[in-house]
Amino acid sequence: MFDTILGLPVHALVVHAVVVLVPLGAVGVIAMAVVPRWRERFGVAVLAILTIGLLSVPVATQSGKKLQERLNAGGVVGKQIKNHMDMGKLVIYPTAALWILAAVLLLMNRRGRGGRPVTVVALLAVLAALAAGAQVAVTGHLGSVAAWSCTIGSSACK
């Protein structure tokens, strides 16, 4: 299931959902935290984006394991893949925290809650957004390095 679709690695297809949707959702949460009136207008859309991004993370992780088994890379590339996989295992945590905090922020807004509790949740949501965005960026960069560093003229892989 997590290996290939029409001969293409599932990981190469699904990882783009994570790389696009998690940071996009993170930006949306930050915007809603800073501009409270946007919570009602954009909250459901942002939560939907985050939901798809969050659900894509375990698919990307499992399909990455299948791809790594298929590649069986050693040397420099093997180390790069291991670094990418180690960071990829951590993406789920800040992304799940971001989803939970975004949902709580929306629920509090819909129930007309305000004041300090909403401010605290909004601040925590911003921190989770920054953490999730950073984790996805670092993991994605390491994956790009593993995929392309030996292809684009690096003498380190020869």
The pLDDT value given to residue 157: 60
Q: How many CB atoms lie within 10 A of CB 154?
A: 12
Phi-psi region of 75 (alpha: psi -120 to 50; beta: other; left: phi over 0): left
Over residues 16-35, the pLDDT tens digits come to 999 999 999 999 999 999 99
C-beta of residue 25 within 8 angstroms of C-beta of residue 83:
no
Nearest residue to 8 via CA among 93, 70, 91, 87: 70
In order of 39, 60, 62, the CA distances from 125 in angstroms are 13, 24, 27
**What pTM, to 2 d.p., does this model score?**
0.90
Whole-number pLDDT of residue 19: 97
Helix (H, G, I), strand (E, B), or coil: what is residue 142? helix
- Residue 125 CA to residue 146 CA, distance in Å, equals 31
Predicted confidence at residue 1, as pLDDT, reads: 76
Token pair 């925290």 in the structure block, residue: 97
Please give the Cα distance from 92 to 77 (Å, whole number): 24
CA distance 68 to 137: 20
Q: Which pLDDT score is estimated for 155?
A: 59
What pLDDT is stored for residue 76 in this prediction?
79
Confidence at residue 74, expressed as pLDDT on a 0 to 100 scale: 77
User: Tens digits of per-residue pLDDT, 123-132?
Assistant: 999 999 999 9
Ranges of each domain in the chain:
4-143
pLDDT reported for residue 156: 57
118 and 34 Cβ atoms separated by less than 8 Å: no
With a cut of 50, list the residues of the chain below it in pLDDT: none
